[in-house]
């Protein structure tokens, strides 16, 4: 049944009525917010007027503290309520422009009348708070919109299944309160809606996709049963967007029990973290904890060691083939990424129960109080059945008790009185009052109190270091793994790997392949504080994590539900896919696997070109959005700069706002950037870039993961530049393009271009 002209008028009339209702709610909320703001200001002004302050007696002090706490909590509650109203107003402001995007008419079984259900980014009740004008897209009933065509349908609510019949499914495009598009469809989301959403220019920030969620994406969003959700999605399939909507759904579904601190999202790089930062706020939710795995490791390892980034490791692999240690380093990367290396480390750690652990001296003012040998002797006197971390805690308690005699001895020494003279008035006053309580000579007591205060403070720092288990020499114990002979299950060139590893460690440098193993090892020695607060962990670009890294993450988050999203076709790091959970066929306990095969980002022409050389065997479907064929320009090396500038100009004429030159390496990025920077405004993106603006950009491919651009220019797509081992890199670079893709080649095109059918691209300059 087609859309009648009268339907347009009726739907616009309803939009106007909803906008009017939103206006009323805004007015009420503004009045509340104004009143609350005035209350907060007044409470801040008169805070101490309403607090009873009396410090004469201990009971009075307790009463004063309680009074201050009560007043502070009262103020905090007012401020929280004011902030909540502010968030509600932001949502209403967004809804006023586009109150909803979908409608379904649903008739429950055994009910006479059908309900007209309008779906939007948030729920909206009428003036009396009785009837829903708009249902939140995350509400159980809204799943009907995403999961069913016309006909029989059902949804789950409160452990019950509500069954019925969908008689109408309608989609809207509403801009600034005006109806711009209206489609009736029998499928989940009509092509018209997707065409409208996907046909625009790329953005510097990812947008929410609640209006265009597909059935398979909805499965990702609402999956609640599995402890491990695996999402293999081809480039541009919307897996990251679905993951963010999943977070919003979980925050809505478990609002009483789940807060932003309980959810952690690991992103591939800082640029991507910035790219997705506005999706959750757009949906009325606070941003959850976001981090890169590199940042996570660096925070835990601390500043004592320099930790190589995965991007620096990748740059080494791509540019340092002539380095004398190159093959050894590759072998090291490959072995240390495996579960075999983890098994070797576990065996080594087990052996440390009998001997081989190293400790540090406990020193004070240059004098060794307790030697490392003494600590080692005490450690190995403890029962072997006690775990290493528990033993460390016992040693810490022993060390603190052993410090007490030394602390008493230091009080009488001359250096203490020098420190006493540097104390402030408050310390002297405190000492005076303490001395008064003693029966002996006042002056002697005051000096003694001050001496004790100085020594207590100095030893307090030492005690804190012991409590933090800093007496354990984790690094020296770790190095011993690479010195020990006769270790079974190692590669043939293990000695060369050990030599290279020790060279790095001697410079306090942790290569990317050593960072996770070292942190895992340190945790096995002293405990690693498992992240029990994190209830949901989402890992994007999961195909780039090694087997060892996954095992480490599971070790840290033993009770956490995980969502892994990625694309095996875009696995750009060394030897990470062999045991990656995203690989089909690998057995994972208590898991759900969802595969997304349709690419929505690129035009049909770009998708048909790139699927021919996709590294994996996964099916790839093109979305039916037409554009120009990818273009291959054959030219001389000295023509590269002019060709890039000409392509930029051509893309600007088409209305493209984000044009990216994507290079294979940072080294190539630097070289091409130098050619262009004096000719045109161009922004270079590095691993330290946290955000970017629309315009002309240049970056290495490994920093483009997860981001899309209107047009992509690959400055050197020749056979010399991209070889078989670079297949995933080239595929990733090409699939960043939404509308236009241009590849420049000197001499022979790379093999991946030639693998595509000749009619899927245009060769220019033959």
Residue list, annotated binding site for ATP: 233-240
Q: Is 284 left (phi over 0), alpha (psi -120 to 50) or beta?
A: left
Tell whether the torsion through CA atoms of 527, 528, 529 and 531 is positive or negative. negative
Q: Across-strand partners of 102?
A: 119, 171
Whether 229 and 216 have beta carbons less than 8 Å apart is answered as no
SS3 assignment, position 683: strand
Chain-centre distance for alpha carbon 89: 28
* CA 603/CA 738 separation, integer angstroms: 6
* CA 625/CA 644 separation, integer angstroms: 26
Closest alpha carbon to 474 in 701, 305, 341, 293: 305
Chain-centre distance for alpha carbon 225: 23
SS3 assignment, position 73: helix
456 to each of 415, 428, 460, 752, how far by Cα in Å? 14, 15, 6, 70
Binding residues: 233-240
> Per-residue b/e over 601-625, b at no fewer than 16 CB within 10 Å?
bbbebbbbbbbebbbbebebebbeb
206 to each of 87, 175, 203, 593, 681, how far by Cα in Å? 20, 19, 7, 25, 24
* CA 491/CA 503 separation, integer angstroms: 19
Closest alpha carbon to 620 in 704, 718, 734: 734
Residues 6+ apart with CB under 8 A from 185: 169, 170, 171
Instruction: Tell the residue number behind the tokens 């307090």, with chain if given.
Output: 460
Whether 262 and 535 have beta carbons less than 8 Å apart is answered as yes
Extended strands (E) in 664-755: 683-684, 695-700, 709-714, 737-745
């Amino acid at each position: 049944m087609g859309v009648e002209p009268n339907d347009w008028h009726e739907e616009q009339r309803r939009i106007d009525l909803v906008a009017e209702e939103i206006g009323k709610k805004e007015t009420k909320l503004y009045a509340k917010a104004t009143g609350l703001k005035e209350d907060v200001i007044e409470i801040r002004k008169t805070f101490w007027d309403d607090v009873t302050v009396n410090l004469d007696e201990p009971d009075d002090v307790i009463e004063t503290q309680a009074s201050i706490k009560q007043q502070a909590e009262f103020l905090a509650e007012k401020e929280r309520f004011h902030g909540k109203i502010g968030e509600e107003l932001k949502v209403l402001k967004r809804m006023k422009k586009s109150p909803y995007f979908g409608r379904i008419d649903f008739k429950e079984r055994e009910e006479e009348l059908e309900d007209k259900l309008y779906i939007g980014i948030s729920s909206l009740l009428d003036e009396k708070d009785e009837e829903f004008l708009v249902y939140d897209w995350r509400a159980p009933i809204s799943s009907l919109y995403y999961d069913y065509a016309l006909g029989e349908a059902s949804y789950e609510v409160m452990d019950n299944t509500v069954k019925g019949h969908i008689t109408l499914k309608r989609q809207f495009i509403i801009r600034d309160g005006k109806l711009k598009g209206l489609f009736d469809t029998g499928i989940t989301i009509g092509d018209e809606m997707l065409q409208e959403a996907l046909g625009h220019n790329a953005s510097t920030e990812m947008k929410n996709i609640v209006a265009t969620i597909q059935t398979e994406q909805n499965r990702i969003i609402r999956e609640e049963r599995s402890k491990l959700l695996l999402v293999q999605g081809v480039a541009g399939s919307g897996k990251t967007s679905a993951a963010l909507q999943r977070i919003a759904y979980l925050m809505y579904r478990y609002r009483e029990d789940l807060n932003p601190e309980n959810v952690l999202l690991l992103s591939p790089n800082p640029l991507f973290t910035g790219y997705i930062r506005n999706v959750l706020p757009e949906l009325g939710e606070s941003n959850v904890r976001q981090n890169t795995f590199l940042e996570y490791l660096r925070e835990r390892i601390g500043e004592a060691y320099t930790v190589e980034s995965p991007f620096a490791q990748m740059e080494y692999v791509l540019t340092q083939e002539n380095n004398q240690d190159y093959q050894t380093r590759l072998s090291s990367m490959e072995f240390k990424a495996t579960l075999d290396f983890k098994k070797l480390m576990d065996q080594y750690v087990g052996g440390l129960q009998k001997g081989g652990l190293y400790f540090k001296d406990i020193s004070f003012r240059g004098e060794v109080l307790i030697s490392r040998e003494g600590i080692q002797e005490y450690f190995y006197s403890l029962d072997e059945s006690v775990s290493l971390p528990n033993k460390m805690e016992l040693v810490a308690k022993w060390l603190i008790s052993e410090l007490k005699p030394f602390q008493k001895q230091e009080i009488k020494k001359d250096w203490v009185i020098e420190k006493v003279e540097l104390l402030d008035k408050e310390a002297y006053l405190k000492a005076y009052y303490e001395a008064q309580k003693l029966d002996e000579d006042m002056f002697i007591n005051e000096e003694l109190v001050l001496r004790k205060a100085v020594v207590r403070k100095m030893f307090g720092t030492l005690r804190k270091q012991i409590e933090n288990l800093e007496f354990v020499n984790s690094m020296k114990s770790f190095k011993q793994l690479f010195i020990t002979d006769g270790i079974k299950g190692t590669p043939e060139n293990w000695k060369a790997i050990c030599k290279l590893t020790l060279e790095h460690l001697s410079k306090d440098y942790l290569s990317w392949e050593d960072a996770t193993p070292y942190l895992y090892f340190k945790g096995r020695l002293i405990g690693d504080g498992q992240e029990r607060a994190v209830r949901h962990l989402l890992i994007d670009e999961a195909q780039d994590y090694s087997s060892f890294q996954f095992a480490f993450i599971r070790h840290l988050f033993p009770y956490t539900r995980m969502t892994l999203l990625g694309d095996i076709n875009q696995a750009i790091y060394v030897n990470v896919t062999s045991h990656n959970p995203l690989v089909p066929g690998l057995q994972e306990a208590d898991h759900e696997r969802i595969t997304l095969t349709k690419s929505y980002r690129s035009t049909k022409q770009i998708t048909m070109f790139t699927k021919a050389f996709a590294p994996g065997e996964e099916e790839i479907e093109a979305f039916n959005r037409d554009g120009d064929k990818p273009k291959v320009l054959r030219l001389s090396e000295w023509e590269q700069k002019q060709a890039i500038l000409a392509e930029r100009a051509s893309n600007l004429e088409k209305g493209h706002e984000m044009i990216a030159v994507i290079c294979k390496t940072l080294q190539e990025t630097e070289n091409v950037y130098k050619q262009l920077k004096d000719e045109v405004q161009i922004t270079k993106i590095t691993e330290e870039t946290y955000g970017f603006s629309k315009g002309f950009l240049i970056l290495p491919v490994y920093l483009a993961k997860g981001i899309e651009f209107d047009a992509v220019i690959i400055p050197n797509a020749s056979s010399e530049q991209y070889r078989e081992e670079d297949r995933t890199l080239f595929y990733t670079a090409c699939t960043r393009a939404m509308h236009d893709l241009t590849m420049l080649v000197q001499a022979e095109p790379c093999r991946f271009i030639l693998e595509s059918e000749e009619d899927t691209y245009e060769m220019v300059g033959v």
